[in-house]
Chain A
Amino acid sequence: MNKITVGIVDYGIGNHSSVRQTLNALEMRCRISDEPAVLDACDVLLLPGVGAFRPAIDALRARSLDRYLHEQADRDRPLLGICLGMQLLAQASHEDGFTQGLGLVPGEVVSLEAPHWHIGWNVVRQVQMDPLFRGSHEQAFYFNHSYAYRGPIEFQVCRTTAGEDFISAIRKGRIVGVQFHPEKSQAAGRALLRELICGLRDA
């Protein structure tokens, strides 16, 4: 079988090397680019993200990647958002004021209430049957965030409890977002990342 090629959407913010190294360890090819022609040639698009929402969406817009991602969603191309990358998929965020997101998945990003931070390893519970997540129910993954997605139940796949209950994975067709970092979640994370990328490609 041909190697899967994952296109990491490079908008100048975030830590691409971790994701790239993990994908390489999973024997996947990886392209990091902001050029449509390069990303068009990939099997799955991956939107990473570490940091604050507003600078990230501004950076996407500055490179016209917001438009590109909309076009790819319209073409039903597979897209995986990780951490802030998942939040960017939503319609808007309330981090540091109100900021419009990509709007690829209905819902908004709101502050965690108590505790304000969610940093460390926590378990995800599958709340909607989805073959991509079947091996990850009750597995622990690494989280590092203070905002979380809130949206319609039909897009919720996994939830996590940390003081309050929040949505830790979402899906709309071939668009998937995970609030945690599978690339930094050791064996469980690598297994899920493989499942997600292979599953999205074949979905």
Chain B
Amino acid sequence: MLKKRLVGVITVRDGWAVQSFGYRRYLPLGHPQFLAQNLDRWGADEILVLCIDRSRRSLGPDLQLLRCLGSLGLSTPLTYGGGIRTAADAAAVIQAGAERVCVDAVLRAAPGIVGEISALVGAQAVIGVLPLSCVAGELQWLDYLSGRSAPLAAADLMPFERHGASEALIVDWRNEGRPGGFDPDLVRQFPLHGVPLIAFGGVSEAGQVETLLGHECVAAVGIGNFLAYREHAVQKLRQRVAANSIRAAVFSGGD
């Protein structure tokens, strides 16, 4: 049986790993490579590095960071997001050390490029990022470059329907960094039922992880800040999550 995943998310801003709160407040954590090494050692199912300023500043993907991470010899799958504008960018990210890529700004600005990316690196390697909120039962998609939200329309989801992206990273941007804050309506209201979802933003508690993973459409949960607070956080979370849909803890570690 395919296991559901606990994804360790490292948010990077200006080259530094940060704790992110609601897409607007950031506290430094240190070098991203140290966090990546911890997540690798602690047995995360996947490591997701999100460089949140690359698209905003038109910098393209942070290949230097990726090469640095690639040189660490991580034995955990690595996904990268941030600044990917073209299929060539995505290929460069893969060659620099990532297994998968996240597309964010391009998903809105030029969704056709998502198809070009998947044709080159394989759709299984492409994740579409959707920062969402749920207002009066309606999903709103945040354009994080302008700071404005608009209702999520069927046309917005074409890259997923046409197999340009294999999974959707649903970010509860409003509750990001708030313990237990993830709004489950983002999952319940998501209109495409055949698209595997990664729920991220305010996911911290074992019971919350169990509930989210109990949704058939949720393939993974992304956990950011909350994995940075204690040693062996991933394994401890695994031990507390009463679900055989995830891998069992590989080893037990103390604080």
Q: Chain A: residues with CB nearer than 8 A to chain B? A: 13-18, 21-22, 24-25, 50-52, 55, 84, 96, 115-123, 140, 142-146, 161-162, 181, 183-187, 189-190
Closest Cβ of chain A to B8, distance in Å, is 13
What is the size, in residues, of chain B's interface with A at 8 Å between Cβ atoms?
44
Q: Does B121 contact A (CB under 8 A)?
A: yes
A52, B119: Cβ atoms closer than 8 Å: yes
Give the distance in Å from the alpha carbon of A82 to the alpha carbon of B118 in the complex: 19
Closest Cβ of chain B to A137, distance in Å, is 15
* Complex A-B: 26 CB contacts under 8 Å: A15-B94, A15-B97, A15-B98, A17-B71, A17-B97, A18-B70, A24-B73, A50-B121, A51-B121, A52-B119, A117-B167, A118-B124, A120-B2, A121-B2, A122-B3, A140-B3, A142-B77, A143-B2, A144-B77, A144-B125, A145-B122, A181-B77, A184-B76, A184-B99, A186-B250, A187-B75
Tally A-B pairs: CB < 8 A: 125
Query: Given the interface contacts A21-B71, A119-B196, A146-B124, does A15 sit within 8 Å of B95 by beta carbon?
Result: yes
Contacts of B125 in A (CB 8 A): 50-51, 144
Query: Given the interface contacts A50-B121, A186-B43, does A121 sit within 8 Å of B70 by beta carbon?
Result: no
**Nearest-neighbor residue (CB-CB) of B118 within chain A:** A52
Give the distance in Å from the alpha carbon of A59 to the alpha carbon of B75 in the complex: 27
B1, A123: Cβ atoms closer than 8 Å: yes
Contact of A120 among B74, B91, B220, B250 (CB under 8 A): B220
A52, B120: Cβ atoms closer than 8 Å: yes
Closest Cβ of chain B to A124, distance in Å, is 12
Query: Given the interface contacts A17-B97, A186-B250, A190-B75, does A117 sit within 8 Å of B1 by beta carbon?
Result: no
**Nearest-neighbor residue (CB-CB) of A16 within chain B:** B95
Contacts of A18 in B (CB 8 A): 70, 73-74, 78, 97, 99
Q: A52-B121, A120-B219 are in contact. List 20 more A-B contacts (CB 8 A).
A: A15-B97, A16-B95, A21-B70, A21-B74, A50-B121, A50-B125, A51-B121, A52-B119, A117-B196, A118-B124, A120-B2, A120-B3, A120-B45, A120-B46, A145-B124, A146-B124, A162-B1, A183-B75, A184-B77, A186-B75
Give the distance in Å from the alpha carbon of A143 to the alpha carbon of B166 in the complex: 13
**Nearest-neighbor residue (CB-CB) of B45 within chain A:** A121
B5, A186: Cβ atoms closer than 8 Å: no
Closest Cβ of chain A to B136, distance in Å, is 32
Closest Cβ of chain B to A23, distance in Å, is 9
A186, B76: Cβ atoms closer than 8 Å: yes
B74, B76, B122, B250 interface centre (most CB from chain A within 10 Å): B122
